[in-house]
Amino acid sequence: MIDILIWLVALPLAGALAALLLPRYATAIVISTAIATSISAAALLYAVATHGVMLYEIGGWPAGLGIALRADGLAALLLTMSALVLLASSIYAGAYFRENLLRSRFWPLWLLLWTALNALLLSGDLFNLYVTLELLGLSAVALASLAGKTAAMQAALRYLLVGLLGSMLFLAGVTLIYAGYGTLDMATLSRVVAAGPIAWSALALMTVGLLLKTALFPLHFWLPPAHASAPAPVSAVLSALVVKATFYLVMRLWLDIFSEVVIPQVASLLGILGAAAVLWGSWQALRAERLKLLAAYSTVAQLGYLFLFFPLLQALPAGAARDAAMGGLVILALSHGLAKSGLFLAIGIIQQRSGHDTIRDLDGTAQRLPATTFAIALSGTALIGLPPSGAFLGKWHLLSAAFSAGQWLWIIVIMIGTLLAAAYTFRVLGHAFGQQPYPRHPVTIAIEEWPALILTAFATIGLGLAGAPVWQLLKVSL
């Protein structure tokens, strides 16, 4: 059973090499790798739910010297969500790049990104995290530059510089940790870290590096151009997963390893930046003229919501209320990942069919592409946080945590953010309906339209109605 951990890294890596060596069969290789990796992810989720934390020491070397892979409930949940997003986007990308010569360059990078993502989520050691962060960043930049236009290349370069600076700051923090505690193993560190200048400066360096990569306001400047100029399946994965991976590390540092060391005022600062991100991102999304830019700014806003949880989790004492809020945070992150990737895929279909993604000229899209428009509506349901979406549960717990911690400011921010999200969703839908008659079959181009529908349906219906296991799984921790 424990071998699943190594498969989750080895399968996509082997697939990437095979796709590179046999470009003619790349599509078939990637789809079968995607299916196999997704099955492994589901098996890992099941194994963690039944057996608890999974651990694998590569080559039999114990943690500290060797590379340890670990999976707890949080890692398994994020890994499964990523697998679902990547599987659906792979199927979509097969159709998207059908007649495109970029395909042979796209597939190996795509699977390398998956490898890096899985390795990052499973890593139990701070230095391996640095290496996987760089791998993830480099493959993401290469994918974002694929469109080849000057704008895409400029955005990718800025993305690369920000990413490198972020990981360098992270590495500086890791260095301090090793100097102070003589270990990089995360499980050991969470026991030995003590409040003091070393822990504080290491946490500060690592957090600033990660926030730069997570695009928390005001460090979000690089995200909208990079996410909006990449090919549609790449945008989906960048917005849904790559920023989530660095957010996951911030969570690990703040809520796990350094939870005893964190100063409440600094957690409040993260919350304030999150609040600014919610307001600014939603406002910019409302003002965006292009669908892709709207989706990218909406990512800035949705990441802001996740940071609102930090001051609340800091204030709540360990117990049922804190566990409930923690589950809310995770389900909000999962729901955003599924909804946003579905939204980007749907936008990709519109862009390819009508040659543009200008919101004002969407007239009649609902008639030409009913299923895709429905996917956008489902995604909007999750972005606003309407029931029965997973985001509704997440925001519900965010609100109740804010009430029980007595931190009223966040409630106003959540309300304004939700209203703005409703406004930008309905603005798109309002433009999408036209006067033409509806076609007989709603799904007009099956292979391309299904992935977006399935992802957004999972976010709205799947997570909303069957979200309870998330709280169960989070109890399985290191």
Partner 1 sequence: MLTAHWLYGLSGCLIMALGLRAVLLNDSLLQRIIALNVMGTGVFMILITIAYRGPDATPDPIPHALVLTGIVVAVSATALALTLIRRLTEEQDSD
Give the residues lining the site for partner 1 (CB under 8 A).
65, 127, 130-131, 134, 137-138, 141-142, 145, 150, 153-154, 156-157, 160-161, 164-165, 168, 171-172, 175, 178-179
Nearer to partner 1, 35 or 153 (CB): 153
45 backbone dihedrals φ, ψ, rounded to 5° = -60, -45
Q: What 3-state DSSP class applies to 56?
A: strand
Q: How distant, in Å, are the alpha carbons of 87, 163, 256, 329 from that of 313?
A: 33, 28, 11, 10
**Residue 125 vs 448, nearer CB to partner 1:** 125
- The smaller minimum CB distance to partner 1, of residues 160 and 216, is found at 160
Residue with tokens 């603005």: 427
* Least Å from the CB of residue 161 to partner 1: 6
Query: Which is closer to partner 1, CB of 142 or CB of 238?
Result: 142
Compute the distance between CA of residue 133 and CA of residue 111 in angstroms, rounded to an integer.
Answer: 15
Residue 68 C-alpha from the chain's centroid: 23
Number of neighbours of residue 319 by Cβ within 10 angstroms: 8
Phi, psi dihedrals of residue 71, rounded to the nearest 5° = -140, 120
Please tell me the distance from the alpha carbon of residue 404 to that of residue 369, in angstroms, as a whole number. 45
Cis peptide before 311 (omega within 30 of 0): no
Nearer to partner 1, 150 or 435 (CB): 150
CB of 142 to partner 1, least distance (A): 7
Which residue from 88, 92, 166, 95 is spatially nearest to 130, judged by alpha carbons? 166
Query: Which CB sits closer to partner 1, 147 or 414?
Result: 147
Confirm if 297 and 284 have CB atoms less than 8 A apart: yes
Q: Please, which residues have CB within 8 angstroms of residue 35's CB and are 6 or more apart in sequence?
A: 87
CA distance 455 to 223: 22
Minimum CB distance to partner 1 smaller for 1 or for 102? 102
Report, in Å, the least distance between residue 426 CB and partner 1: 39
Nearer to partner 1, 157 or 272 (CB): 157
Is the backbone of residue 161 left (phi > 0), alpha (psi -120 to 50) or beta?
A: alpha
Alpha-carbon gap, residue 124 to 188, rounded angstroms? 10
Decide whether 62 or 437 has the Cβ nearer to partner 1. Answer: 62
In whole angstroms, the minimum distance from the beta carbon of 102 to partner 1 comes to: 14
Q: Which residues neighbour 212 within 8 Å (Cβ) at sequence distance 6 or greater?
A: 162, 165, 166, 169, 219
Return the SS3 of 66. Answer: strand
| Cβ-based nearer residue to partner 1, 167 or 379 | 167
Nearer to partner 1, 160 or 300 (CB): 160
What sign has the CA pseudo-torsion 230, 333, 317, 478? negative
For residue 116, which of 101, 129, 103, 99 has the smallest C-alpha distance?
A: 129
366 class by beta-carbon count within 10 Å (0-12 exposed, 13-18 middle, 19+ buried): buried
- Chain centre distance of CA 256: 19
